[in-house]
């Protein structure tokens, strides 16, 4: 975020014929969740862990979302995952996303089948962060 804002200011300065300024990174700290209602964090010389760090992580991530509606949607989703004891709230389990240039016409999408079927190109196995590849 910091680099993007600095780049935008420098582009505006170039367009306006002003001098650009070098980018200076400001370390705002580190936060990481390590379990259910547990996290670790450091901001400046302060280090914290446990429930308080998890709460700080939660607040910071919600604060950096764009738009009120997004914040509400994410908070509701996280609350559901928390109270339902769901483990998959933030796991990447893999999915093939197709860009606009790769999309198939609507009428042929149903008949396409899995990769490799009907002469469609083979795709490598899907990435997964959950279990070994054979367990899917």
Note the pLDDT tens digit of each residue in 44-99: 899 999 999 999 988 888 888 888 898 899 888 888 888 887 765 555 556 655 65
Q: Structure pTM?
A: 0.49
Question: Angle 51-63/68-83 helices, nearest 10 degrees?
Answer: 150
Predicted confidence at residue 14, as pLDDT, reads 96
**How far apart are the C-alpha atoms of 54 and 59, rounded to whole Å?**
9
Whether residue 126 contacts residue 96, with contact meaning beta carbons closer than 8 Å, is answered with yes
């Amino acid at each position: 975020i910091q680099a993007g804002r600095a780049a935008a200011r420098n582009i505006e300065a170039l367009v306006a014929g002003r001098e650009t300024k070098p980018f200076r990174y400001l370390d705002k700290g580190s936060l990481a969740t390590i379990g259910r209602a547990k996290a670790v964090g450091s901001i400046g010389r302060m280090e914290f862990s446990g429930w308080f760090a998890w709460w700080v992580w939660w607040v910071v991530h919600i604060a950096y979302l764009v738009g009120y509606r997004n914040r509400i949607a994410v908070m509701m989703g996280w609350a559901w995952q928390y109270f339902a004891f769901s483990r998959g709230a933030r796991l990447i389990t893999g999915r093939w996303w197709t860009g606009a240039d790769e999309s198939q016409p609507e009428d042929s999408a149903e008949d396409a089948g899995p990769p490799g079927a009907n002469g469609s190109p083979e795709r490598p196995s899907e990435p997964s962060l959950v279990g070994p590849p054979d367990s899917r």
